[in-house]
Every structure is written in structure tokens, then in C-alpha cells.
Amino acid sequence: MSERKKKSGYFYLTVVILVLVVAYILFNSEGLFRHKELNDRIESLKYELDTLRSYNKRLREEIDSLQKQYDSKIEQVAREKYNLKKENEKEIKIEKK
């Protein structure tokens, strides 16, 4: 075998090995693509967590105001959420066309 063919064979073998190593790094179960996918999922969950925390904070504030027995707040919640009315009040419904 000539020296040139030997070098050419080693070059192709090296290229094939490098391609296989890069493919393994990118596509294995702990590869770069999986890493990117998991990071995107983490960011999505962080956003959802922040949204839920702010919602919980608003609910806690509403609970605190109700526990302090602010009559106007209790009346507002009773009217808006539960459609309650006082004994002598009349309900007027407005129909939209």
C-alpha cells in the first residue's frame, strides 16, 4: 500500500470518527439538543410559577381583607361573586341586544 493511500485512509477514518463523536454529543439522551429542550421547559415553568405566585399573592390579600371584617369588602364580594342582595333590594336585569 502506498504512503498516500495510507494517509488518505487515516484521514477518512478520522473524519468518520469525528462525525460520530459530534453526532453522539448532539443527539444522545443527555446531548445538546436535549439540554436546550430542557432549558426551554425550565423557562416556561419559571414563568408559570411567577404567574401563580402573583395570583396567590392577590388571593392572600383578599383573604386578609375579608378576615379583617371590612364590611364594604364583604358586601362587594357577596354582590359580585355570589349575586347576593339585601332584603329590601330589587334586582333589575338589563338585557343586551
Where do the domains of the chain lie? 1-28, 31-84
H helices present in 1-97, as ranges = 3-27, 32-67, 71-82
Cβ–Cβ contacts within 10 Å for residue 65, how many? Answer: 15
Please report, in tens digits, the pLDDT of each residue of the chain (97 residues total): 567 777 788 888 888 899 888 888 777 777 777 888 889 999 999 999 999 999 999 999 888 877 776 777 777 777 778 877 777 877 777 788 7
| pTM of this prediction exceeds 0.75 | no
Torsion angle (degrees, nearest 10) of CA 78, 79, 83, 86: 90
Q: Which residue has the cell 388571593?
A: 59
C-alpha cell at 87: 332584603
